[in-house]
């Protein structure tokens, strides 16, 4: 029975150590997962945006890329600092625990030493027998026998408690050593990241200083680029409006009763397309990337330009940098709504998913035709690569009817 209690005590100590290790593990795991994501993001940025230095980028593009890289690098440093700070708190807790355990262990050892000495003096069997025989009556002899047994059990218990405390101390020490090693590694990594950040900042400042010399020309280039983007966005919305008008006309002439009544700029949906739209919505945040490998160099929404803060960048979608000759793929099941091939400029493919539309702009080849059904991750075309800058950038947008959506909310881990 005593051995069973001792085994249970050992198990409880081990479980206690494990629980202590896991108490902050959840937070540490979240930070570590985010840190690894940011590290991978920087690798992709270097590979996709800064690897081929033989091609000269425009200053506008280079500033955008550097600005994005800096933001990711700063996030990495911030997350790594949070991890190091959390480890510092854990280390302090464990150091206090070790100090308390050492004190408790010393007290236990001192008491145990006294017990051993006393036990040694009374270890003679004859002394024990005489102790019992010298009893005045049977009741006293019985009590003295109980005392001897209790004393022996207490001695064993003290020895077991010392073993348990020693084991707990060893486990805590092992955790502490591991925590200190992890913290040192994080500090070293952050020091390197800070040095890389300073290099990138210095490069960005040189470019900005060069741009400031001819700010008017630079501003004109930014505005011209925005006008081109706005023109494409208008064409996409016009195509969607025409498609909406067609769906309404078809719904009016249809004798079926399973079409819905829609507002001015909403698709008239059949039961089938309504189910497709619901399925698309249910996959919000889980849709695959439209490219196999890429980084978002310009995000959704209105944002100030990184150099001239008086200028704004309006993005109805995201701009994803990828590898040369990369293929673009559909992010969900749907039907090709349109393939726009202007005389000048890149090709746009639009895919309808019920009341939702995804658009893929800046293509040089198309593998699908209007009205064709497509599946999730099906390759639909090849992205155009700028021969002068070697940049391969996909403009990707999501619409609900004619309203733009933020792709970052829809695409997995964007």
146 or 182, greater pLDDT: 182
pLDDT of 171 higher than 60: yes
Candidate from 2-11, 33-42, 279-288 with smallest mean pLDDT: 2-11
**Dihedral angle over CA of 233, 235, 239, 241, nearest 10:** 70
With a CB cutoff of 8 Å and minimum separation 6, the contacts of 300 are 315, 316, 317, 318, 404, 406, 407, 408
More confident residue, 218 or 302: 302
**pLDDT reading at 128 higher than 60:** no
Mean confidence (pLDDT) of the chain = 84
| pLDDT of 61 | 80
Q: Give the residue, 157 or 129, on which the prediction is more confident.
A: 157
Report pLDDT digits (tens) over 244-268: 999 999 888 765 544 444 567 899 9
Tell whether the model's pLDDT for residue 11 goes beyond 90. no
According to the model, what pLDDT value does residue 379 have? 98
Residue 258 pLDDT = 47
Angle subtended by helix axes 59-121 and 25-49, to nearest 10: 150
pTM equals: 0.72
User: If you average pLDDT over residues 276-292, what whole number do you get?
Assistant: 98
Res. 102: pLDDT tops 60: yes
Each residue's pLDDT tens digit, 363-397: 999 999 999 999 999 999 999 998 877 889 999 99
Higher pLDDT, 254 or 5: 254
178 contacts 30 by C-beta, under 8 angstroms: no
Enumerate the CATH 2.70.70.10 domain ranges in the chain, comma separated: 225-409
pLDDT band at 277; cut points 50, 70, 90: very high
pLDDT at 130 over 90: no
β-pairing verdict for 294-298 and 318-322: antiparallel
- Please say whether the beta carbons of 101 and 164 come within 8 A: no
To the question of domain 225-409 being in CATH 2.70.70.10, the answer is: yes
- Helix H, strand E, coil C: the string for the chain is CHHHHHHHHHHHHHHHHHHHHHHCHHHHHHHHHHHHHHHHHHHHHHHHHCCCCCCCCCHHHHHHHHHHHHHHHHHHHHHHHHHHHHHHHHHHHHHHHHHHHHHHHHHHHHHHHHHHHHHHHCCCHHHHHHHHHCCCCHHHHHHHHHHHHHHHHHHHHHHHHHHHHHHHHHHHHHHHHHHHHHHHHHHHHHHHHHHHHHHHHHHHHHHHHHHHHCHHHHHHHHHHHHHHHHHHHHHHHHHHHHHHHHHHHHHHHCCCCCCCCCCCCCCCCCHHHHHHHHHHHHCCCCECCCCCCEEEEECCEEEECCCCCCCEEEECCEEEEECCCCEEECCCCEEEEEEECCCCCCEEEEEEECCEEEEEEEEEEECCCCCCEECCCCEEEEECECCCCCCEEEEEEEEECCEEECHHHCECCC
Predicted pLDDT of residue 60: 74
What's the pLDDT tens digit per position in 40-90? 999 999 888 887 655 567 777 888 888 889 999 999 999 999 999 999 988
Q: Is the model's pLDDT at 1 over the cut of 50?
A: no
Q: What percent of the chain has pLDDT over 90?
A: 49
pLDDT, position 270: 94
User: With 90 as the cut, is the pLDDT of residue 119 above it?
Assistant: no
121 pLDDT exceeds 80?
A: no
Best-predicted range by mean pLDDT (98-102, 137-141, 145-149, 160-164): 98-102
């Amino acid at each position: 029975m005593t051995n069973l209690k001792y085994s249970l005590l050992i198990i409880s100590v081990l479980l206690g150590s494990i629980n202590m290790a896991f108490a902050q593990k959840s937070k540490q795991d979240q930070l570590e997962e985010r840190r690894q994501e940011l590290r991978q993001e920087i690798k992709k940025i270097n590979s996709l945006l800064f690897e081929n230095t033989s091609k000269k980028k425009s200053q506008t593009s280079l500033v955008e890329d550097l600005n994005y890289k800096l933001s990711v690098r700063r996030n990495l440093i911030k997350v790594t600092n949070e991890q190091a700070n959390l480890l510092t708190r854990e280390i302090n807790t464990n150091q206090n625990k070790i100090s308390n355990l050492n004190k408790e262990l010393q007290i236990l050892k001192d008491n145990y030493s006294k017990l051993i000495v006393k036990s040694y003096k009374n270890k003679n069997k004859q002394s024990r027998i005489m102790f019992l025989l010298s009893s005045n009556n049977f009741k006293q002899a019985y009590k003295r026998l109980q005392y001897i047994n209790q004393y022996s059990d207490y001695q064993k218990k003290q020895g077991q408690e010392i073993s348990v405390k020693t084991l707990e101390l060893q486990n805590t020490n092992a955790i502490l050593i591991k925590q200190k090693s992890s913290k040192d590694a994080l500090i070293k990594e952050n020091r390197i990241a800070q040095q890389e950040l300073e290099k990138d900042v210095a490069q960005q400042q040189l470019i900005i200083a060069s741009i400031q010399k001819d700010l008017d020309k630079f501003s004109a280039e930014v505005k011209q680029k925005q006008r081109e983007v706005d023109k494409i966005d208008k064409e996409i919305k016009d195509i969607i409006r025409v498609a909406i008008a067609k769906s309404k006309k078809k719904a009016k002439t249809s004798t079926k009763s399973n079409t819905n009544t829609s507002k001015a700029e909403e698709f008239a949906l059949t039961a089938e397309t309504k189910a497709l739209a619901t399925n698309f919505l249910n996959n919000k945040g889980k849709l695959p990337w439209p490219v196999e490998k890429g980084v978002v160099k310009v995000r959704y929404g209105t944002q100030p330009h990184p150099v001239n803060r008086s200028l704004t960048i309006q993005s109805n979608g995201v701009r994803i940098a990828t590898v040369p000759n990369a293929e673009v793929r559909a992010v969900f099941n749907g039907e090709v709504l349109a393939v726009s091939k202007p005389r000048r400029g890149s090709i746009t493919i639009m895919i309808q998913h019920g009341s939702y539309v995804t658009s893929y702009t800046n293509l040089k080849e198309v593998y699908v035709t209007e009205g064709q059904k497509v599946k999730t991750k099906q390759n639909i075309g090849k992205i155009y690569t700028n021969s002068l800058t070697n940049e391969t950038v996909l403009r990707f947008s999501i619409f609900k009817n004619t309203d733009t959506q933020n792709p970052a909310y829809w695409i997995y881990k964007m």
